[in-house]
Amino acid sequence: MSITRTDQYFFNWINGGQAESEKAMPVLNPATGEMIGRVPDLDEASVRNAVDSAYRAFPSWAALPARERSRYLNDWAQRIEQDREQLARLLSLEQGKPLREALGEIAGTADIIRWYAEEGKRAYGEIIPASNAGQQLLVYREPVGVVGLITPMNFPAATVARKVAPALAAGCTVILKPAESTPMIALALFRRLMETELPAGVANLVTGDASVIGQCLMSDARVRKISFTGSTKVGKRLMEQAAQSVKKVSLELGGNSPAIVFPDADLDKAAADLAANKFENCGQVCNGINLIYAHEDIRDALIAKLLPIVQALKVAPGDVPGADIGPLINERAVEKVERLVRDAVAKGANILAGGERLTGDGFAAGYFYAPTLLSNVKRDMSITHEEIFGPVATVLTFKTEEEVLANANDTAYGLASYVYTSDFTRIHRIIQGLQTGNIGVNGTSLAYTQAPFGGIKESGIGREGGRQGLEEFMSLKYVALTTV
């Protein structure tokens, strides 16, 4: 099946079979506004059906030896790798990111699945030295049960793998709800999962109204965990709803990530890294840099290196060869970026590049915003407090380490931070001082499959990646066993 610009209908997956509904939801290409596909708009009864089937499938899936669960996951990864090009084209078409980035995301998706296929075999328990003779204190690790997985639009393939793979490896059964704007890649990945002949009901995928599906999953006491990646606003709501049946929650939420550049940094490397991080996926990256704090002594030199990089970025639909930046996901995303830039400029920021929506030839029907560099950004601007989630780099200035640490921490978020310096003792102080879940020192790459990624404060609870990502789907059972 090759993906074209024609309308395609993608079925949901419930209890191992294709599920559809009378109502369908359109999926649009954000570069053109054209409808590229339709997915079911499920009603409450169908979502309940998905929970029923996951609940029924749980005991035998949980009882399966980890090695056997691993085989399904490896088979799934192989099918994704085989169809990498085709899946990447679908991802790029639906989400807007350049094909080069989409190819990387699909490769990463398979890599995550393979990693958890192995890690599931290492979910070890523990034996604790007992206090009394003839006694053993044992700790078992068990799968949590049925889990609801809710994924965002920015990495709509990788986030599926980051949740489904550890959940299945742990022995949980799942109901996945992808974002409304990017359900097709999740459905295409699921089709390949179903081709592994996974037992019916182990993995289910539902699309439709977020509040209907959310309410259904959250109000059902059989769903024992919710793993959510998305905005802090929705995450807070889910956390409130989870309280009703005391579900376990993992929340991977928004950020307001600072990058701090000291005078002793390698400025060429810093400029290249900051631009690569900031403009990846059109700025729609949770750990994307929101604020660049440049020391006053090197501010102009750093801007002089950043500016030509920003000016050279090629904006185009994701399938155009050489595209560096595609469109934003929708009109609301463009309006948010416009509002933040307008507010910053009104309060004294200078536009060095971009600063406007692109509307000319090839851009008119899509959601394109020019790669933007703002200087003279100050702490009283909305852009310094809200997650931009768009292709806008902001430069602020600082004088002292104490001042920049205080400003970097003055936010409700705590997802990622970056620092560029060659002073080892300063690196140590900054690592201690930053209130954040993840730190990049002299580099901005953070998301590695084997490492525990996640936020503190209003950026989230729990970790994805690494053994910790598997543990999120397990609960401990402690047994005091008296043998005599």
Output the smallest distance, CB 340 to ligand NAP, in A.
14
Q: Which helix (H) or strand (E) covers residue 430, if one does?
A: helix 424-433
* CA–CA distance, 235 with 440 (Å, rounded to integer): 25
* CA–CA distance, 203 with 176 (Å, rounded to integer): 8
Query: Pairing between strand 350-353 and 248-252?
Result: unpaired
Residues of this chain that interact with ligand NAP (CB under 6 A) are: 150-155, 177-180, 210-211, 214, 229-231, 234, 237, 252-255, 286, 387, 389, 415, 455, 460
Catalytic residue among 101, 119, 252, 472: 252
Output the smallest distance, CB 436 to ligand NAP, in A.
12
Return the number of the residue (171 or 235) whose C-beta is nearest ligand NAP: 235
Return the number of the residue (294 or 388) whose C-beta is nearest ligand NAP: 388
* CA–CA distance, 305 with 274 (Å, rounded to integer): 11
User: 244 Cβ partners below 8 Å, 6+ apart?
Assistant: 218, 219
Return the number of the residue (204 or 421) whose C-beta is nearest ligand NAP: 204
Output the smallest distance, CB 296 to ligand NAP, in A.
30
Catalytic residue among 216, 286, 471, 472: 286
Query: Three-state DSSP class for 109?
Result: helix
Token look-up 């084997």 returns 450
* CA–CA distance, 215 with 163 (Å, rounded to integer): 20
Output the smallest distance, CB 361 to ligand NAP, in A.
29
Return the number of the residue (9 or 478) whose C-beta is nearest ligand NAP: 9
Q: Is 282 a catalytic residue?
A: no
- DSSP code of residue 390: S
| DSSP string of 48-65, one letter each residue | HHHHHHHHHHHHHHHHS-
Torsion of CA 345, 348, 352, 355, to 10 degrees: 0
- DSSP code of residue 422: S
For 314, other C-beta atoms within 10 Å of its C-beta total 12
Return the number of the residue (354 or 437) whose C-beta is nearest ligand NAP: 437
* CA–CA distance, 253 with 210 (Å, rounded to integer): 17
Return the number of the residue (98 or 462) whose C-beta is nearest ligand NAP: 462
| DSSP string of 219-267, one letter each residue | H-TTEEEEEEES-HHHHHHHHHHHGGGT-EEEEE----EEEEE-TTS-H
Output the smallest distance, CB 143 to ligand NAP, in A.
22
Return the number of the residue (151 or 372) whose C-beta is nearest ligand NAP: 151
* CA–CA distance, 284 with 387 (Å, rounded to integer): 10
Output the smallest distance, CB 362 to ligand NAP, in A.
25
**Radius of gyration of the CA atoms of the chain, in A:** 23
Q: In this structure, are residues 356 and 252 in contact, taking their beta carbons and an 8 Å threshold?
A: no
User: 51 Cβ partners below 8 Å, 6+ apart?
Assistant: 146, 175, 216, 217, 220, 222, 223
Return the number of the residue (362 or 452) whose C-beta is nearest ligand NAP: 452
Beta-bridge mates of residue 351: 374
Q: Is 286 a catalytic residue?
A: yes
Output the smallest distance, CB 383 to ligand NAP, in A.
15
- Residue with the shortest CB distance to ligand NAP: 214
Output the smallest distance, CB 195 to ligand NAP, in A.
24
Residues recognised as catalytic: 252, 286
